[in-house]
Structure 1
């Protein structure tokens, strides 16, 4: 199969429709609708994200998606980004719908007196943002106007910068390994439209470069492509076709703490300015889902699959046992459907294959009599007879190991 045909076969918009994952509607251009099966994948991604962040010392927060315009003027987004923002007018006040989550994290940091002993403070937020993209550039889940960034904002002392960035790089590597992605790294430096002094930018760029060299990570320098408030490390993951996708980012920011007068009290009771680290791993849930759909060609690993097994009774006489098996597997924590249509089992198998369901469970006279099931794997064919205990053990291993 040619590369063009392979790419088209994996098109996430077509697979999204075929597998009933998401849809786009004229009523909300660039703002995707997630269908029940798409929500399963989305929830699994979010569950993994929340679980790991809690385990490594992040605190989850949630901040408003609409805040007063003055906040965005103070943050610098108004000057540098207002052409991409949406606005509203409420109670004779101008509001902006957030294009980024960082000011909300800053407001929470500033909401109480902070001590040097508290730092680093790591706030994690799955934050919905809106950005005005030109209608001609919209593309399924890859290029949208509303999306959820898997953000985190770390408030650190200057002596903590390198150790915290190291931990972030390790966490990003762990996430990408879970999905089987390799990646390339770019260090993006000061853009023309930058905020702050050249001296601060040089310090920030030097800190990022030092960590990359210490960890012996190969990287390229992307001159002038940093965010307006600080330099960044960008991660480009490579999919199963070798295509590169920009996803994760780690940004060092001396500017925003200055603009919002952030401070913590040091050892000798003097105020100090923290440094902010902005970082995302998926980049956005929507974009990452699009990449996963194309990477796996819709053949998701067992733990991510919206339907993990489909039970195919051969006739109506086997329905009662089929639903009993469904209940047993659902109680064990798996996502199961029964195809109870009056159709030949061959047709049911072909349709389950087309829907890319990882496992099919065939139920006939022999299975009912032996209180067993016949297991079939997507693409691989028949595995054979097994007990319900054996199938639960098999599924549990794949789920735990995220296979």
Structure 2
């Protein structure tokens, strides 16, 4: 690889950045996440990058997770080289590596066709065969701006202006005749990009603003060898088979009705039943942990959102204001202002704190038409939101309790592997963050202290905090190894100040509380979508909408089947009896396609001995057992929240 991880020996106060491919590579299109170094100034460099300070240096191996992203970033440059050789009128944006591969945003008036993508991939092979060396060069910022402006490269001009300062030197990487504004690092030459594929093209607005130019985002992936590349596409087939949109329709769980609007979810009876189980479990857990359940309106006066800061910092994600009789109103994108008003409705003493308010509240956010995706990205969703108002002395204990709660939630639903990120602010970004530096530093220190005390490994992501405070994001890893952002715990010292919240301290004086935002499902919709894909629709016993399917062999066995149904339902199980005049095997097949955990078949033998013939999901026919024994087994699985089957 000839790439190293370096970390300054002296503390670094803020990250630096040099080019549009730098930073957090798995955040598609987020500028703030793509330009910062890791916590403490840690960064990756190749041998052509100058070292201007004393650093700790660690050479990367191919087994290092970061190494694959270096290959993928180099593959993005190879793809950009091929695009410009074939379509020289194209203007380039940025081309970062991602967890799944890489992409390059480009501007070209003519849409790329499937034939164009095939031609690009073929030309990439030519660029690789030429084995062109990646050469790093530096030049004055002003020279780079002048060159790119002359070439009409408006996106490169933006990146230089946005992420460098007058007088800076900017870094460029060249291979053959291709040059790109880039921080690096890269593999030594294009010949090291051995296994790659161009996969698709999609639309993306410049800077995420639909008023700007429509870009084309060309996706690809790359691996160290063809064996890994082949395994990747086999995995994609498995992902396709688990697509929650397909399974949602097949299992009749939910739908999105275009006549009602994009990104709005209709929960069908079976999906609604699972949702009820999820929400009931969450409410019970909240109450057990000292939360009080509250409910707040879906719509509130715009003035409230101005006070909270959402009307300014979050307006592009909110629905437009509505002019009503007495004022302008906005649909709520979050529940926090409503919970703040509940807190403020009556005086609070230090003896009353912490106050923990929880709500499974419906919120509405304006997602752009090209970004919505089934249950995972919607415009209306239910957030399992909670806000904790406490004294500064209580904050770390409350954050620790939230992290523990998140861990229990994810384990309860069958997830055992997680990755944690600490999202902090960018002190140079005064546009997207509110509050004083000392408050931010204190808040970040509190979150770090909790994570360190619990021995939780985490990655620090500068520039990804909420506008009001830093946050801990817990990403679960599903059965296919995919990361999903769901649970979040956020420190907020800004909203209590904006709303002038108070409590009377032990000294009799007025004090300002601090606030924790936390969501553990993230949203019920997104969490449900992840569950569908994680289990491929074969939900664990306690979540399955139908836990037991009953199949009488003929009509004369219906009476016994109904008696079995009554016994099972009395034990608290969810049961469906197929009383149709159909063949037994057809009924069994239908329950199997619906991924029902148990199918019980009943004929003369079973009716005579109060038994059932058991077919278990994934295992098949297990033979006859007494009805009492089956009930004991099934109820035990539900109570134990077993994820077997």
Residue in 1 aligned with 2:369? 135
Residue in 2 aligned with 1:11? 243
Residue in 2 aligned with 1:241? 480
Task: For residue 373 of structure 1, report the CA deviation from its aligned partner.
Answer: 1.1
Task: For residue 28 of structure 1, report the CA deviation from its aligned partner.
Answer: 2.2
Q: 2:488 matched to 1:253?
A: no
Cα deviation digits, residues 118-143 of structure 1 (max 9, x gap)? 11111111111000001121111000
Cα deviation digits, residues 3-51 of structure 1 (max 9, x gap)? 1210010000000000000000112211100000001111111011011
Q: 2:428 matched to 1:196?
A: no
TM-score, length basis structure 1: 0.98
Task: For residue 387 of structure 1, report the CA deviation from its aligned partner.
Answer: 2.1
> Is the Cα contact below 8 Å between 1:186 and 1:220 reproduced in 2?
yes
Separation in structure 2 between the aligned mates of residue 251 and residue 4 of structure 1, nearest angstrom: 34
Task: For residue 92 of structure 1, report the CA deviation from its aligned partner.
Answer: 3.8
Residue in 2 aligned with 1:378? 617
Identify which of 72, 97, 106 aligns with 2:331.
Answer: 97
- Match of 1:330, SS state, is helix
- Match of 2:435, SS state, is coil
Residue in 2 aligned with 1:52? 285
Cα deviation digits, residues 66-107 of structure 1 (max 9, x gap)? 000000000000011112212322214100100010000000
- Match of 2:290, SS state, is coil
- 1:128-277 mapped onto 2 (5 Å cutoff): 128-181=362-415, 182-191=417-426, 192=429, 193-277=432-516
Cα deviation digits, residues 128-163 of structure 1 (max 9, x gap)? 100000112111100000001101100011111111
- Match of 1:318, SS state, is helix
> Is the Cα contact below 8 Å between 1:72 and 1:78 reproduced in 2?
yes
Residue in 2 aligned with 1:391? 630
User: Quick check: which has more Rg, 1 or 2?
Assistant: 2
Cα deviation digits, residues 266-314 of structure 1 (max 9, x gap)? 0121000000000010100000000000000001000000000100011
Residue in 2 aligned with 1:336? 575
Residue in 2 aligned with 1:42? 275
Residue in 2 aligned with 1:349? 588
Residue in 1 aligned with 2:349? 115
- Match of 1:362, SS state, is strand
Give the count of matched residue pairs: 403
Task: For residue 388 of structure 1, report the CA deviation from its aligned partner.
Answer: 2.1
Separation in structure 1 between the aligned mates of residue 607 and residue 453 of structure 2, nearest angstrom: 61
Residue in 1 aligned with 2:36? none
> Is the Cα contact below 8 Å between 1:85 and 1:99 reproduced in 2?
yes
Cα deviation digits, residues 321-357 of structure 1 (max 9, x gap)? 1111111111211110011122221121122111100
Cα deviation digits, residues 195-239 of structure 1 (max 9, x gap)? 111111111011101111111100000110000000000011000
> Is the Cα contact below 8 Å between 1:201 and 1:230 reproduced in 2?
yes
Task: For residue 389 of structure 1, report the CA deviation from its aligned partner.
Answer: 1.6
Q: 2:627 matched to 1:401?
A: no
Separation in structure 2 between the aligned mates of residue 290 and residue 249 of structure 1, nearest angstrom: 18
Q: 2:271 matched to 1:32?
A: no
Identify which of 80, 99, 123 aligns with 2:313.
Answer: 80
- Match of 1:137, SS state, is coil
Separation in structure 1 between the aligned mates of residue 477 and residue 488 of structure 2, nearest angstrom: 15
Separation in structure 2 between the aligned mates of residue 85 and residue 91 of structure 1, nearest angstrom: 21
Name which structure has the greater RCO, CA cutoff 8 Å, separation 6+: 1
> Is the Cα contact below 8 Å between 1:353 and 1:379 reproduced in 2?
no
- Mind listing any 5+ residue stretches in structure 2 that lack a counterpart? 1-230
- Match of 2:530, SS state, is helix
Residue in 2 aligned with 1:23? 255
Task: For residue 370 of structure 1, report the CA deviation from its aligned partner.
Answer: 1.4
* RMSD (Å) for aligned C-alpha atoms: 1.0
